[in-house]
Amino acid sequence: MATTVEKLEMMGRAARAAARKLAYLNTEIKNRALHNVADALVRDQDAILAANAEDIAAGRAAGLSEALLDRLLLTPERLRSLAGDVRAVAALPDPVGEIFDMRILPNGLKVGKKRVPLGVIGAIYESRPNVTVDIACLCLKSGNACILRGGREALNTNRALASLLAREFTAAGVPEGAVQFVDDPDRALVARMLRMREYIDLLVPRGGADLIRYVAENATMPVVTGGIGVCHTYVDEAADLDKAVRIVYNAKVRRPSICNALDTLLVHRAIAPTFLPRVAEAWLKAGVEMRCDETSLGILRAAGFEAGVVPAEPDDFGREFLALRAAVRVVDSLSEAIEHIERYGSGHSEAIVTENYSAAMRFLDEVDAAAVYVNASTQFTDGGQFGLGAEVGISTQKFHARGPMGLKELTSYKWIILGDGHVRP
């Protein structure tokens, strides 16, 4: 009987074989497979939710935080939304085979580029089982095979989803091996995946800082890192305060456990005495704990706020909370806000609320992040919200992709040259 490491090697060989066929697979077959998956997510929801309930119960017994349990949880509504994302991917143009940048050289050669898949995508991720579906479907549409390794905490859910994906892909005519799931939670297999350069062309880690750092430092193939979101919203002196309250509330409260949720609120000193009490009233009703610098703490205490308003610890600035907590700081200028973001941000998502055009454009120019917003909640940083259907992950690096990674970010290109008997002199 093959060992788990040998099985992983077999997966690698199967994925490489599938990738060669996927590179030219008919778009109609890919889309049929995606629609099959979307239908099955709703049709088979009872079995998926039963598996998810096992993981939730085990996670709660193991003491997982509410933030992690929320990431792990599937509901009928979330499954319907996931199915909608899959259909959205099916509706997008197939990037494979696109010819672009074509031009004729002075010698008559026609030179251009043709979009091609990367090959085999490996993904190592934690908690969120929707990632299993998102990555598999994006890989299929972009002509890539994938090897997925989810976390122990979502093992039952991921097994159910991976089985569904493989079944529906095969039924539509997709080559076997296009999607494979490593269902053994042995962490030694992660180390082995990181050395499978001959099979895996790109590795995408999604999870906590420790996982991402480990993968980035030990992988032998290219890695796209990201997902750690220390996200700021700066409320400028020229902000519309009604608009600012709505944006800040949504950025923190809508879903605090995701990487694009607000972590630090920066407020210009000129409007802080008016704005901060309004935010506190809204946030505290929602259960948000405000960890305040000395100035913001003084303003809120003077306004009568006590419970839920506490002094910030030094490491609260630069922390990804993933919970109903936020750091708060009063700044003297836009320059100070930008400097704070430069020091503490993770390059994920940053926002300014202002009616001053020059301030908005300066923020867009000077803030270095994958997604930079003017007058909008950072919770929009998402492949589906950006019109990509879904995402493999959110890259906070600059090579080869940045921000939500959709279909085109899972492709490369090759040069194509058309001649007519040309020889080089």
CB 200 within 8 A of CB 219: no
Task: Please indicate, yes or no, if residue 425 is contained in any of the structural domains.
Answer: no
| Structure token digits, residue 54 | 């096992």
pLDDT 10s digit of each residue in the chain, 425 long? 667 788 899 999 999 999 999 999 999 999 999 999 999 999 999 999 999 999 999 999 999 988 789 889 999 999 999 999 999 999 999 999 999 999 999 999 999 999 999 999 999 998 789 999 999 999 999 999 999 999 999 999 999 999 999 999 999 999 999 999 999 888 888 999 999 999 999 999 988 888 889 999 999 999 998 768 899 999 999 999 999 999 999 999 999 988 999 999 999 999 999 999 999 999 999 999 999 999 999 999 999 999 999 999 989 999 999 999 999 999 999 999 999 999 999 999 999 999 999 999 999 999 999 999 999 999 999 998 999 888 898 898 888 889 999 999 999 999 999 999 999 99
In-domain check, residue 385? no
Supply the CATH number for residue 295's domain.
Answer: 3.40.309.10
The answer to whether residues 149 and 249 belong to one domain is no
Structurally, the chain folds into a number of domains equal to 2
Same domain, 239 and 151: no
Residues 362, 404 within the same domain: no
The parent domain of residue 42 ranges over 4-227+393-418
Distance CA 230, CA 248 (A): 15
Q: Are residues 221 and 236 in the same domain?
A: no
In this prediction the pTM is 0.89
Question: Do residues 86 and 34 make contact, with C-beta atoms less than 8 angstroms apart?
Answer: yes
Q: How many distinct helices (H) and strands (E) make up the chain?
A: 14, 16
In this structure, what token pair is assigned to residue 57? Answer: 């119960």
One domain, residues 10 and 29: yes
Q: Are residues 182 and 258 in the same domain?
A: no
Residues 17-26 as b or e (16 or more Cβ within 10 Å = b): bbbeebbebe
| 78 shares its domain with 46 | yes
Q: Identify whether residues 238 and 221 lie together within a single domain.
A: no
Phi and psi at residue 26, to the nearest 5°: -60, 135
Same domain, 81 and 191: yes
Where does residue 40 rank: exposed (0-12), middle (13-18), buried (19+ CB within 10 A)? buried
Same domain flag for 165 and 250: no
Q: Are 182 and 17 in contact (CB under 8 A)?
A: no
For residue 414, the surrounding DSSP H or E stretch is strand 411-418
List 76's β-bridge partners, or say none: none
Amino acid at 15: A
Task: List Cα–Cα distances, 54 to 61, 82, 125, 132, 187, in angstroms.
Answer: 11, 20, 19, 17, 21
Do 209 and 306 lie in one domain? The reply is no
411 shares a domain with 264: no
